[in-house]
């Protein structure tokens, strides 16, 4: 039995979490009190993060839909099948969807493939605030803030940010919370709770010298009086690597943009996302659909080919958290089945298409991603 310290994959806060590993299986989680963000404290989402590993809907083999039913096939067959179809489309008919749940390395590899094919690429942020991460300087010393305005509910959704808010309040900070729902935990922990029908009604002009934490899925460009001059803004994305995908220059799409792109695609390759959960019809005009995911989702059900990927506990890589801090996740166990890392699947597919992605191993890929991100800064 040993404990592998890694990063929680369940939101953008990026808390540390230890996985208890015995005989090649993850049995539970263990606090990592040494982690600077959460000091060994995790919310319920974080504390159940290992459940995905043995999820009942876990994909085990590549699947091809033949005569309306899925058949298990080898990697070779699945990738050849995809490649042969992909060759029939022009670049502008092809779309790749990256994911805020994948590592920077995975998303970077996908972006390189998309660029190589001159195809479109984007990632969905419909559950997160839309901000220009490259522009916003994240100076979120929440604990030291004097006035904190929260748009959304960080207590239920990002409790380890909630903790920092509470610490600030204990030191005398004034907390104002806007939410579209009345929730007990928000009313009890705010000096002022305001229920709004739409977040866009909030007039940012009312705030001066405040720290504004936003985790509601809103487009900050659309705020009234959006100048971001009088205050600091701290967006908190939903997924563990939404910020990372955005900083890799993969276009961040709100729901409308996302659905328009999906509808506009002939050949669609979706990694780690599940749009059919929200709208089943959105994919009905897609000609050829590939879904690459950890579990069998509503979207996978509609696909022509489904590819099983490793979950975060089964691979190495990096996530970029809400503060733009790059953190390493660590492989704790091997998968119990044929799942491969996202980047590896993409590399194998690229090889079938005679596209050279320029890296041979994870280490080479990781180095390239790090230097790409550094050059951006």
| Separate counts of helices (H) and strands (E) for the chain | 11, 18
Q: Does 141 bind another protein (CB under 8 A)?
A: no
CB of 154 to another protein, least distance (A): 11
Q: Is 156 in the site for another protein (CB under 8 A)?
A: yes
Q: Which of 24, 36, 68, 172 binds another protein (CB under 8 A)?
A: 36
Q: Which does 11 bind (CB under 5 to 8 A by kind): ligand SF4, another protein, none?
A: ligand SF4
How far is it, in rounded angstroms, from Cα 284 to Cα 326? Answer: 37
Query: Which residues, in sequence order, are bridge partners of residue 340?
Result: 309
**For residue 68, what are its two tokens?**
């309306």
**Maximum distance among all alpha carbons in the chain?**
65
Can you spell out the DSSP letters for 283-308? GTT-SEEEEEESB--HHHHT-SEEEE
Stretch in the footprint of another protein (CB under 8 A) among 157-165, 245-253, 261-269, 313-321: 157-165
CA distance 269 to 331: 26
- Binding to another protein, residues 12-31 (CB under 8 A): 18, 20, 22, 27-28, 30-31
**String marking each residue 156-175 x if it binds ligand SF4 according to CB under 6 A:** --xxx---------------
Cα gap 121→343, rounded to integer Å: 15
> Minimum distance between the CB of residue 160 and ligand SF4, rounded to whole angstroms?
4
Residue 121 DSSP SS3: strand
Nearest CA among 300, 241, 345 for reference residue 57? 300
Q: Does 38 bind ligand SF4 (CB under 6 A)?
A: yes
- Does 42 bind ligand SF4 (CB under 6 A)? Our answer is yes
List binders of another protein among 173-192 (CB under 8 A). 184-185, 188-189
User: In whole angstroms, what is the distance from residue 70 CA to residue 272 CA?
Assistant: 19
CB of 220 to ligand SF4, least distance (A): 21
Strand partners, 309: 340
Residues of this chain that bind another protein (CB under 8 A):
1-3, 5, 18, 20, 22, 27-28, 30-31, 33-34, 36, 38-44, 47, 155-156, 159-160, 162-163, 166-167, 184-185, 188-189
Residues of this chain that bind ligand SF4 (CB under 6 A):
8, 10-11, 13-15, 38, 42-43, 45-46, 158-160
């Amino acid at each position: 039995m040993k404990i592998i310290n890694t990063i929680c994959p369940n939101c953008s806060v990026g808390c540390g979490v230890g996985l208890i590993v015995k005989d090649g299986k993850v049995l539970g989680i263990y606090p990592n009190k040494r982690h600077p963000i959460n000091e060994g404290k995790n919310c319920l989402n974080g504390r159940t993060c290992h459940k995905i590993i043995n999820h009942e809907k876990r994909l085990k083999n590549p699947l091809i839909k033949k005569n309306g039913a899925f058949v298990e096939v080898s990697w070779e067959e699945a990738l050849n099948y995809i490649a042969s179809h992909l060759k029939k489309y022009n670049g502008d008919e092809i779309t790749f969807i990256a994911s805020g749940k994948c590592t920077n390395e995975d998303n970077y590899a996908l972006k390189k493939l998309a660029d190589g094919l001159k195809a479109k690429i984007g990632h969905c942020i419909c559950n997160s605030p839309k901000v220009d991460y490259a522009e916003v300087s994240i100076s979120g010393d929440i604990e030291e803030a004097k006035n904190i305005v929260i748009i959304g509910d960080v207590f239920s959704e990002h409790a380890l940010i909630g903790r920092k808010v509470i610490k600030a309040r204990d030191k005398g900070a004034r907390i104002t919370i806007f939410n579209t729902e009345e929730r007990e935990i928000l009313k009890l922990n705010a000096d002022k709770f305001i229920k709004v029908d739409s977040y866009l009604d909030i007039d940012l002009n009312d705030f001066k010298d405040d720290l504004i934490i936003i985790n509601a899925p809103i487009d900050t460009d659309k705020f009234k009086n959006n100048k971001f001059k009088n205050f600091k803004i701290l967006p908190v994305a939903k997924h563990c690597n939404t910020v990372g995908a955005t900083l890799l220059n993969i276009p961040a799409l709100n729901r409308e943009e996302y659905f328009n792109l999906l509808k506009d695609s002939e050949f669609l390759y979706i990694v780690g996302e599940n749009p059919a959960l929200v709208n089943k019809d959105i994919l009905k005009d897609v000609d050829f659909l590939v879904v690459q995911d950890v579990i069998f989702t509503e979207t996978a059900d509609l696909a022509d080919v489904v590819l099983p990927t490793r979950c975060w506990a089964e691979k190495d890589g990096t996530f970029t958290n809400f503060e733009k801090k790059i953190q390493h996740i660590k492989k704790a166990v091997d998968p119990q089945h044929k799942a491969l890392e996202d980047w590896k699947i993409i590399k194998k597919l690229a090889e079938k298409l005679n596209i050279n992605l320029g890296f041979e191993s994870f280490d080479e890929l990781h180095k390239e991603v790090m230097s790409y991100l550094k050059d951006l800064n």
